[in-house]
Amino acid sequence: MFPAFPPSASALMSATIAQAIIPLGFGIPDTIRVHHITQNDWGVIAQHVYDKHASVCGVALRISRDYGDLDMVAFSTPADVFAVTLGTTSHSPKASQGRGPLARILDGSRCVLAGFGMARIALHLYRQWSLHVEGVDLTSLFPINGSKLQTPAEFASRRIHPDVDIHKIHALWYGDTVKDLCLHALNGASFFLERQRSIRLALQRCYRAPVAPAKFIY
């Protein structure tokens, strides 16, 4: 049985954001719940994934422009995003007390971790906590013309719906606000779910290949 991780009183500071990237007909709501938590409350995310029987968790991160360190990570299921603010003590043992639930999030043992640019994401997460990271890179999963990596906008127009606003998606990926980061993670989760069957078939082909570029493990 999965252990319960009750949130602290300050763990869930929630708000909502609007998303107009994915058409409503695909089952993704136009309003997404965003929960702001600290780095000591990883159990809140792990419990949510367990309670919702989530099969995928989208992930995105932001690097501080001032210091070059990881300063925020977002994890998302299709209707909820958890924005985790990291402080200067992120590497310390005290800040890593939640390593049990964090490890289950990062290693893919509870659900698939998915995102765009997963090689970069996995490397930063591993460097931050020295924990095993296993995830699926949507950028390289369906290469264009056999080699060209696809942008999130190309993935959405080719695999989700041809009428999505690719300019809006391109603009979103250039942004680094908290809302932008949350939508990056949300798109990782929702795009994976929308094309889950074809993605899993593509992953099986990757596993049989000598090199599996769509799967990144650290």
Could you write out the three-class secondary structure of the chain? CCCCCCCCCCCCEEEEEECCCCCHHHCCCCEEEEEEEECCCHHHHHHHHHHCCCCEEEEEEEECCCCCCEEEEEEECCCEEEEEECCCCCCCCHHHCCHHHHHHHHCCCCCEEEECCHHHHHHHHHHHHCCCCEEEEHHHHCCECCCECCCHHHHHHHHHCCCCCHHHHHHHHHCCCHHHHHHHHHHHHHHHHHCHHHHHHHHHHHHHCCCCCCEEEC
- Residue 7 in any domain: the answer is no
Per the prediction, the chain carries an average pLDDT of 80
Is the residue at 2 inside a domain? no
**119 belongs to a structural domain:** yes
Residue 99 has pLDDT above 70, yes or no: no
Task: State the total domains in the chain.
Answer: 1
Please list, in sequence order, all residues whose beta carbon lies within 8 angstroms of the beta carbon of residue 67, skipping any fewer than 6 positions away: none
* pLDDT of the residue at 172: 92
Domain with 123, as residue range(s), is 13-217
pLDDT tens digits, one per residue of 126-183: 999 889 899 989 988 877 776 678 899 998 888 888 888 899 999 999 999 999 999 9
**pLDDT for the residue 203:** 62
- For residue 113, the domain's CATH number is 3.30.420.10
CB 188 within 8 A of CB 58: yes
**pLDDT score of 205:** 58
170 assigned to some structural domain? yes
Question: Would you say residue 191 lies in a domain?
Answer: yes
Question: For residue 14, how many other CB atoms are within 10 A of its CB?
Answer: 11
Which residues make beta-bridge pairs with 76? Answer: 58, 81
- Is there a domain that residue 4 lies in? no
Residue bearing the bigger pLDDT, 182 or 22: 182
- In a domain, residue 114? The reply is yes
Classify residue 73: in a domain, yes or no. Answer: yes
